[in-house]
């Protein structure tokens, strides 16, 4: 299933070579010059917001890039427009082939876990909840909250006596919100005046596979200030990206885990930032 | 002995009169060597004793351990530790002797031995702990000094203030060993410390962040000499094991495996090919790895065993007869 969002032509963009008709949407790849926070080498973050910024950059890379359209996966992307669109090419436009460095990775990290909190707005009696609700466990000597589970969406909630609740295990933002509402309903049915205040997603975890083995020793040598690789402590390299503030666990097999995001876009942005770097440390054998 | 005339020169630096400089009459440019034991200043060119009766800076009394501790007549304290303490120039009043210093119950009247330097007390305790830990694994003085310096830096920064001092000390010891080029595994540091490996690891990462330093990655060769000598393996086996481990990493036969595990598997292979065969359990005990881990890494390097051995290795057991687990 493809989504085609045709972008309005950017009239404000003067064509540098003078050979391109302004009617064609020109995708200007962004080359953020390092503030030291975004990992180098020069990366190409193709998010729509950057295109709309209309930065004039020094590199003459204003060629229309061919982006393969993204097949949207079953998890919908609420609130997010797809990042990639095909360029309708007219025969009059000279096309220069896209350089590999500015191509997108084509891999989309899959969300694995969402942690969210919500305030039910009333004090709760955990003992009655634990006794009357199904799938609830409460061991006050071990932990001061009721642990409740529901099957659809498969999530776990920690419900505290103050009325605050933590919902974990959902695979998308909508599922997390739905699950939290279900838990609130359960609490409401048990007789408490539960409300649904301040639902907030606190953490999102995503994972993906770059499909090639990675030389972690090389990566830790060049990105010392961001990486921590201690094979005695953990087999993966822990990369703390500063912008966006995401922690990535990078493994020799090529699997990457991204965590610490508050919004989905941060995970995607972080992966697009790290992908060219990982390509540079691909194992050649 | 009588001295020939010494030339005493009064230097005038501007209008200020400098201190009189003694110099040898025959060699005015020679730098005089000070012999502090005899209290002499000797000219190195001709051996003339130029200045005498220089103050002797040796110790006043020689102290022996079997003498009664209370009878130490030395009037100076311990050597100052200027790098690490705040410059301990405080005066201590010792316990009194004689009848007047004891009250009617027999307790001494003046009781102020406790408060030495409260701000540095924790640091002194930590230094003592560091020295104890380092002694257990026979670490040289330079590592202990480096550890002390690291601890001082971390302590003064106060960013890790909530953590147990022992944990920070253990982590500093680990970092110092790494920085000196002789890394010790976390398990080895764990063995001499009361702190868990997890906590030492956490403090290690926090200290690297706080001091904004980094350490080199560990390699298999760093541990070979220690493990092999602990197992009593001869030099050829050690060299063979080093070669095997290096080759295995170069050929990328063991991706993602900890260098310690690879080193242990290499030692196992080398010892099994030589006359001194060691079991996986023995090697696992010394290296701090489980024997299943050695087995796993060994299975990865076994297929290419023939390529991994150094060319000049004398096989007691040929490659095809190596154990296959």
Q: Is the per-residue pLDDT at A24 higher than 90?
A: no
Q: What's the rounded Cα separation, in Å, for the pair A271 and A207?
A: 9
Where does residue B284 rank: exposed (0-12), middle (13-18), buried (19+ CB within 10 A)?
Answer: buried
* pLDDT tens for each residue of B274-318: 998 999 999 999 999 999 999 999 999 999 999 999 999 989 998
Q: Under an 8 Å CB criterion, which residues of A touch B?
A: 213, 217, 220-221, 224-225, 228-233, 235, 251-253, 283, 285
- Between chain A and chain B, how many beta carbons pairs sit less than 8 Å apart? 35
Q: Which residue has the tokens 């404000």?
A: A12
Q: Is the per-residue pLDDT at B4 higher than 90?
A: no
Where does residue A156 rank: exposed (0-12), middle (13-18), buried (19+ CB within 10 A)?
Answer: middle
Residue A268: band (very low, low, confident or very high) from pLDDT cuts 50, 70, 90: very high
* pLDDT tens for each residue of A105-114: 789 999 999 9
Cβ separation A228–B218 shorter than 8 A: no
Instruction: Please compute the mean of the pLDDT values over residues B18-41 and round it to a whole number.
Output: 76
Residues 6 or more apart whose CB falls under 8 angstroms from that of A206 comprise A109, A110, A111, A112, A257, A258, A259, A261, A267, A271
Q: To 10 degrees, the CA torsion angle through A71, A74, A79, A81?
A: 0
Q: Report whether B301 contacts B269 (CB < 8 A).
A: yes
Angle, vertex CA B239, rays to CA B238 and CA B240, nearest 5 = 90
User: Which of A191, A142, A194 is CA-nearest to residue A164?
Assistant: A194
Q: Is the per-residue pLDDT at A90 higher than 50?
A: yes
B211 to chain A: closest CA residue: A225
Cβ separation B255–A213 shorter than 8 A: yes
User: Which of B170, B163, B79 is CA-nearest to residue B131?
Assistant: B170
ipTM (interface pTM): 0.75
pLDDT at position B42, please? Answer: 85
B251 to chain A: closest CA residue: A285
Q: What is the CA radius of gyration of chain B?
A: 30
Residue predicted with more confidence, B145 or A97 = B145
Q: What's the rounded Cα separation, in Å, for the pair B134 and B145?
A: 11
Q: Which of residues 209-248 of B touch A (CB under 8 A)?
A: 214, 217-218
Share of chain A above pLDDT 70, in %: 64
Q: Which of B203, B257, B258, B300 to mutate to test the interface with A (most CBs of A within 10 A)?
A: B258
* pLDDT tens for each residue of A154-178: 999 999 999 999 999 999 999 999 9
Q: Report whether A150 contacts A183 (CB < 8 A).
A: yes
Q: What's the rounded Cα separation, in Å, for the pair A139 and A126?
A: 10
CA distance B270 to chain A (A): 23
User: Which of B310, B219, B298 is CA-nearest to residue B264?
Assistant: B298
Would you call B22 helix, strand, or coil by DSSP? Answer: strand
């Amino acid at each position: 299933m493809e989504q085609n969002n045709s972008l309005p032509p950017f009239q404000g963009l003067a064509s540098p070579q003078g050979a391109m008709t302004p009617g064609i949407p020109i995708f200007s790849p962004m080359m953020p010059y390092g503030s030291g926070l975004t990992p180098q080498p020069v990366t190409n973050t193709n998010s729509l917001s950057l295109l709309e910024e209309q930065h004039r950059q020094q590199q003459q890379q204003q060629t229309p890039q061919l982006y393969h359209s993204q097949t949207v996966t079953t998890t919908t992307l609420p609130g997010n427009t797809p990042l990639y669109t095909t360029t309708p090419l007219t025969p009059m436009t000279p096309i220069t082939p896209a350089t590999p460095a500015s191509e997108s990775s084509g891999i989309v990290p899959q969300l694995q876990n969402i942690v969210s909190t919500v305030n039910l707005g009333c004090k709760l009696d955990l003992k009655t909840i634990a006794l009357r609700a199904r799938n609830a466990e409460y061991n006050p000597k071990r932990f001061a909250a009721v642990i409740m589970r529901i099957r659809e969406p498969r999530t776990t909630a920690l419900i505290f006596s103050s009325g605050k609740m933590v919902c974990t295990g959902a695979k998308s933002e909508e599922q997390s919100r739905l699950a939290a509402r279900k838990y609130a309903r359960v609490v409401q049915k048990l007789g408490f005046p539960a409300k649904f205040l301040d639902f907030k997603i606190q953490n999102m975890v995503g994972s993906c596979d770059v499909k090639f083995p990675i030389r972690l020793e090389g990566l830790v040598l060049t990105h010392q200030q961001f990486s921590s690789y201690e094979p005695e402590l953990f087999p993966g390299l822990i990369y703390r990206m500063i912008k966006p503030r995401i922690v990535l666990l990078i493994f020799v097999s090529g699997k990457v885990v991204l965590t610490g995001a508050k919004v989905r876009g941060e995970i995607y942005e972080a992966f697009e930032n790290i992908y060219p770097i990982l390509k540079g440390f691909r194992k050649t054998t | 002995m009588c001295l020939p005339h010494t030339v005493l020169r009064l230097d005038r630096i501007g209008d200020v009169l400098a201190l009189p400089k003694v110099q040898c009459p025959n060699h005015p440019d020679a730098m005089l060597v000070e012999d502090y034991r005899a209290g002499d200043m000797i000219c190195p060119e001709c051996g003339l004793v130029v200045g005498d009766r220089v103050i002797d800076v040796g110790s006043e009394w020689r102290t022996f351990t079997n003498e009664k501790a209370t009878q130490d007549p030395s009037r100076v304290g311990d050597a100052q530790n200027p790098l690490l303490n705040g410059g301990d120039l405080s005066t201590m009043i010792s316990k009194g002797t004689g009848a007047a210093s004891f009250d009617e119950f027999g307790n001494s009247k003046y009781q102020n031995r406790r408060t030495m330097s409260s701000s540095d007390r924790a640091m002194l305790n930590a230094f003592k702990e560091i020295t104890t830990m380092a002694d257990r694994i026979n670490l040289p003085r330079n590592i202990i000094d480096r550890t002390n310096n690291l601890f001082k830096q971390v302590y003064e920064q106060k960013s890790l203030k909530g953590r147990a001092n022992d944990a920070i000390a253990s982590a500093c010891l680990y970092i110092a060993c790494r920085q000196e080029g002789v890394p010790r595994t976390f398990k080895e540091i764990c063995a001499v410390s009361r702190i868990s490996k997890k906590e030492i690891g956490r403090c290690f990462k926090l200290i690297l962040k706080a001091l904004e330093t980094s350490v080199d990655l560990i390699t298999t060769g760093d541990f070979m000499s220690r493990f092999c000598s602990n197992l009593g393996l001869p030099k050829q086996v050690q060299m063979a094991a080093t070669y095997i481990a290096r080759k295995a990493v170069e050929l990328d036969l063991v991706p993602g495996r900890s260098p310690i595990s690879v080193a242990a598997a290499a030692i196992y292979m080398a010892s099994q090919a030589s006359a001194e065969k060691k079991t996986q359990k023995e090697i696992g005990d010394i290296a701090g790895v489980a024997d299943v881990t050695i087995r796993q890494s060994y299975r990865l390097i076994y297929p290419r065993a023939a390529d991994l051995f150094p060319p000049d290795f004398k096989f007691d057991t040929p490659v095809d007869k190596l154990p296959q687990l």
